[in-house]
């Protein structure tokens, strides 16, 4: 007999119906408010009421969404916790092996470079061992399933000497906003224009 598979991610039928109803209502609200310009008290009150309805419905839908997704997230966490130790341990093995190979290859590279410099300093004449090291003969070869590549990195030894061309500046927007808020907008910052605006927040419905 074929096993019956359950779709764990499918929302309950009642949730699907709720979403369908609320989506239709939300679309109707959107049609009503699109391009809306408030001109009198009636418009203002109606706008506030629609905004409150939209907020309440959004919060209700978000709560229903959490009810469905919370068990999924919990199940996912349990599975990840189950796999994590073995994955982590294997990653440690891989990292240690890579570091060991890297250390050996780096040492081999430095020894070959020193040997070549010695050969050059002696006008191309050196003992057999030095010549072998200089040309990489007889050296331990990298494992066949591993590839290595010579790369260049950098370390900062004195940041004050680095030319400006190598620096990037990041604007401290939080500091600017804090200065504006602290002074009620009455602050002058070169290169900054303070714009006065209105922030709308919901009050609890009575």
3 in a structural domain: no
178 in a structural domain: yes
pLDDT at residue 4 tops 80? no
Neighbours of 115 (CB within 10 A): 19
Domain that includes residue 138, residue range? 13-31+43-182
Distance of CA 88 to the CA centre of its chain: 21
Report the pLDDT averaged over residues 152-170: 92
pLDDT at residue 154 tops 50? yes
Give pLDDT tens digits for 113-124: 888 888 888 888
167 in a structural domain: yes
132 in a structural domain: yes
Kindly give the residue spans of alpha helices, DSSP state H, lying in 122-172.
128-134
- pLDDT of amino acid 9: 54
Instruction: Tell me what the pLDDT averaged over the chain comes to.
Output: 89
Task: For residue 47, give the nearest of 59, 58, 35, 57 by alpha carbon.
Answer: 35
Burial, 133: exposed, middle or buried (Cβ in 10 Å; 0-12, 13-18, 19+)?
A: buried
Neighbouring residues of 197: CB distance < 8 A, sequence distance ≥ 6: none
- Round to whole Å and give the CA distance between 101 and 95: 10
- pLDDT of amino acid 22: 94
Give pLDDT tens digits for 24-81: 999 999 999 998 999 999 999 999 999 999 999 999 999 999 999 999 999 999 999 9
2 in a structural domain: no
- pLDDT of amino acid 11: 66
Quick one: residue 191, left, alpha or beta (phi over 0 = left, psi -120 to 50 = alpha)? left
- Round to whole Å and give the CA distance between 44 and 32: 13
Neighbours of 57 (CB within 10 A): 17
Angle at 91 between CA 84 and CA 94, to 5 degrees: 160
Read off the DSSP letter of residue 154. Answer: -
71 in a structural domain: yes
Report the pLDDT averaged over residues 145-172: 91
Q: The whole model's pTM is what?
A: 0.63
Q: Assign 149 a pLDDT band (cuts: 50, 70, 90).
A: confident
Domain total in the chain: 1
Q: For the chain, what's the residue count? A: 206
Read off the DSSP letter of residue 160. Answer: G
């Amino acid at each position: 007999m074929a096993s019956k598979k359950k779709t764990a991610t499918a929302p309950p039928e009642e949730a699907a119906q709720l979403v369908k109803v609320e989506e239709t209502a939300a679309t109707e609200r959107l049609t009503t408010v699109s391009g809306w310009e408030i001109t009198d008290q009636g418009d203002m009150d109606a706008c506030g009421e629609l905004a409150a309805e939209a907020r309440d419905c959004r919060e209700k839908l978000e709560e229903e969404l959490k009810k469905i997704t919370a068990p999924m997230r919990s199940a996912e966490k349990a599975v990840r916790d189950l796999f994590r130790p073995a994955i982590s341990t294997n990653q440690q093995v891989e990292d240690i092996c890579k570091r060991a190979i890297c250390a050996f290859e780096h040492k081999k590279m430095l020894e070959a470079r020193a040997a070549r410099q010695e050969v050059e300093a002696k006008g191309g004449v050196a003992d057999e061992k030095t010549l072998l090291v200089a040309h990489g003969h007889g050296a331990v070869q990298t494992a066949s399933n591993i590839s290595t590549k010579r790369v260049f990195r950098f370390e900062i030894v004195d940041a004050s000497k680095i030319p400006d061309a190598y620096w990037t500046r990041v604007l401290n927007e939080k500091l600017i906003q804090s200065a504006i808020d602290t002074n009620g907008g009455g602050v002058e910052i070169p290169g900054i224009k303070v714009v006065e605006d209105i922030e709308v927040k919901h009050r609890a419905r009575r």
